[in-house]
Amino acid sequence: MLQNGHLVIRGTQEVRVNAEIRILTVAGIVRPSDIDPSNTIAYDRISEARISYGGTGHIAEVQQPPYGQQFIDRISPF
């Protein structure tokens, strides 16, 4: 809780599909008055929202090759 009464939130969801792991992370600051009775909050009520989506597995490796491969691809794109 911040000095002004606002709350700092952070949540992570991890989903495994076949051999892939997908990770969704949401963080930000909310006002307690914006939290519904069901303990939820609309995404447009999160200030300073930081949302990241990533994962591990074959698809992630193809999208982000190792640093050595990135270097070789820059000097020899063919």
**Phi (first) and psi of residue 71, to 5 degrees:** -65, -45
Q: Cβ distance 6 to 34 under 8 Å?
A: no
**Phi (first) and psi of residue 15, to 5 degrees:** -125, 130
Whether the model clears a pTM of 0.85, i.e. scores above it, the answer is no
Q: pLDDT for 8-45, tens place per residue?
A: 999 999 998 887 888 999 999 999 999 999 999 999 99
Separation between Cα atoms, residue 57 and residue 48, nearest integer Å: 30
- Per the structure block, which two tokens stand in for 6? 């606002």
Greater confidence (11 vs 59) lies with 11
- The candidate with the shortest Cα–Cα distance to 22, out of 60, 50, 49, is 60
